[in-house]
Amino acid sequence: MQRIQPLALARAVSISDYLLGDELIDSTSETADLQSRAELVANIAADKLKAKLQWLSDIDLIGGIQSATMAQAADVRRAYLTGDAALGALVRKLIVSSMTADADSEAEETVLKIEHDACENHEPREDRAPSHRTFRITGGL
């Protein structure tokens, strides 16, 4: 058996290869911001999933059943042939999986709206047209 040697670590050739203090602080704060955002999305998704599981809507139930894909056909066949309990467990798994995906998407949309509103309230955005027409009134003929 041939042993594969690990590649040598890349070596820094000058001081400019290292992050400067400010760059390191910026990258650390960006990482913290991303982690905070991910936690917020996860918390909102957990709350939304909890609500979906508590108030089972017809749309969530039927959507979960319809979420089965051709890739899952073998699992559906196996559960069907095994019996009602296995088929019921598979259907429940499909429904919960679909509701989890929906809750994740809704949570992401919620955070995007929060970020958009925060951006809109504090910084003027160049990519948006004014909310109303602006007329210039000039005097005289």
1-20: pLDDT as tens digits = 455 555 555 555 555 555 56
- Residue 98, C-beta contacts closer than 8 angstroms, at least 6 positions apart: 60, 63, 64, 67
Which residue in 100, 93, 111, 132 sits closest to 41, CA to CA?
Answer: 111
**Where along the chain do its domains lie?**
25-122
Helices in 1-141 by DSSP H: which ranges?
21-54, 58-66, 73-82, 84-122
Residue 50 has pLDDT above 80, yes or no: yes
pLDDT-derived band at 81 (thresholds 50, 70, 90) equals: very high
Predicted local confidence at residue 25, as pLDDT: 64
Residue 82 or residue 25, greater confidence: 82
Angle value at C-alpha 13, between 8 and 18, nearest 5 degrees: 95
Nearest-angstrom CA–CA distance, 22 and 109: 32
Can you give the pLDDT at residue 32?
Answer: 82
Mean pLDDT for 68-82 is: 95
Q: Sorting pLDDT into bands at 50, 70 and 90, what band is 47?
A: very high
Question: What pLDDT does 119 receive?
Answer: 80
Contact of 94 with 68, CB cutoff 8 Å: yes
φ, ψ for residue 9, nearest 5 deg: -65, 145
Whether the CB-CB separation of 73 and 81 falls below 8 Å is answered with no
